[in-house]
Amino acid sequence: MKTLVIGAGALGNAIGACLIKSGHNVDFLATPATKAAIDADGVHMSGLFGNINIEAATVTAYGDFADLPSDTYDFVLICVKTLSNQQIADSLASRRDILKDNGKIVIMQNGLGNDSPYRQYFPEQQIYSARIITGFKRNAPNRSEITVHTSPLLLGSLFGCDVKELEPLAAAINDAGLPCLTSDEISKVLWAKMLYSCTLNPLGAILQVNYGKLGDNPYTVAIMDKLIDEIYAVMKAGGQSTFWDTPEQYRCAFYGKALPDTYHHRSSTLQDIEKRRKTEIDTLTGYILSEAAAYQIPVPYNEMLYRMIKAIEADF
């Protein structure tokens, strides 16, 4: 199995290191600084699931789509920030020859709607999605640390395609020590992640606190309860569902397990703001707002947090 990881950030480094440890061939498409770090020092993962150290001699990093080899990749993993999706989709379409005939694209990103740019060029049976509810921290351009974890990575299709196509990829990641499975219910899984992320990410970023602090404070708990209610209203209006039928059922799971398991995590939104980078808020809360507008569902709490994040970004 040959895999291309597009985006050698905190997630991409870790996934690539796991695949290489399991004996698979992995190339990275990276920024110049990250490519230089990989070329000099390989790829490294540390944290909750142990250490993986891949020497530079066993991994190749490319800096441009034009340099990628043809007819090579069984899987292309999209690990870039969602802001880059249209550009990556355009570039990948111009080099679709890098994929083998049955090659698959796996979108490993936050939020919903990330498949849209890729569906402009590739058939639905070629596009898969991942749910990741593990916390990754990038300590250096080629070094990732797993800081929190509450549930396995899940891989699946939003379009009813056979998830057996993803089993070699899931098994390779899992065998390296990072729990990973396939799922026939990836839509429900991704909506569960949306509930989690949209409740925690923007609020934690605005207040500059970890997830646990939000659960400890009755005022932020009250806000999160309202966010959950609004997201459920939007989800139901669109005919979507997840694993809990009501907001009350979800809150029991959220406050009882998901939030405590990731107590110390600082959201990717907060990490981006601290680095004065644009966030992925448009595929998180922004997606909720777009769906709410389509179904004329009021979502004032989500709208306020979205506008506050955008106001912060306006100074970058």
pLDDT in tens, 244-282: 999 999 999 999 999 999 999 999 999 999 999 999 999
228 and 91, same structural domain? Answer: no
pLDDT of residue 276: 96
Provide the domain limits for residue 160: 2-184
Shared domain check, 65 and 18: yes
Task: Say yes or no: 284 and 192 in one domain.
Answer: yes
Nearest-angstrom CA–CA distance, 18 and 20: 6
Are both 179 and 223 inside the same structural domain? no
Q: Which of 163, 184, 205 represents a domain boundary (last residue)?
A: 184
66 and 21 in a common domain: yes
Structure tokens at 49: 């699931």
Residues 172 and 264 in one domain: no
Per-residue model confidence (pLDDT) at position 228 = 98
Question: Which residues make Cβ contacts (< 8 Å) with residue 36, sequence separation at least 6?
Answer: 141
Q: Are 302 and 288 a contacting pair, CB within 8 Å?
A: yes
Q: Residues 20, 117, 312, 224: what is their CA dihedral angle, to the nearest 10 degrees?
A: -80
Q: What is the DSSP letter of 83?
A: G
Q: Is the same domain home to 24 and 157?
A: yes
Q: Are residues 192 and 239 in the same domain?
A: yes
Domain boundary among 131, 166, 184: 184
Question: What CATH number does residue 107 fall under?
Answer: 3.40.50.720
Q: Are residues 14 and 94 in the same domain?
A: yes
* Predicted pLDDT at 125: 96
- Among residues 129, 160, 184, the one where a domain terminates is 184
- The verdict on 214 and 179 lying in the same domain is no
Same domain, 132 and 18: yes
Low-confidence ranges of the chain (pLDDT < 50): none
Q: Which residues pair with 156 in a beta bridge?
A: 129
Number of domains in the chain: 2
Name the residue with tokens 């026939």: 184
Q: What is the pLDDT of residue 150?
A: 87
Q: What is the pLDDT of residue 62?
A: 98
pLDDT of the residue at 189? 97
Residue 299 belongs to domain with CATH number: 1.10.1040.10
What's the whole-model pTM score? 0.94
Element (H, E) at 303: helix 300-313
Clarify whether residues 28 and 157 are in a common domain.
yes
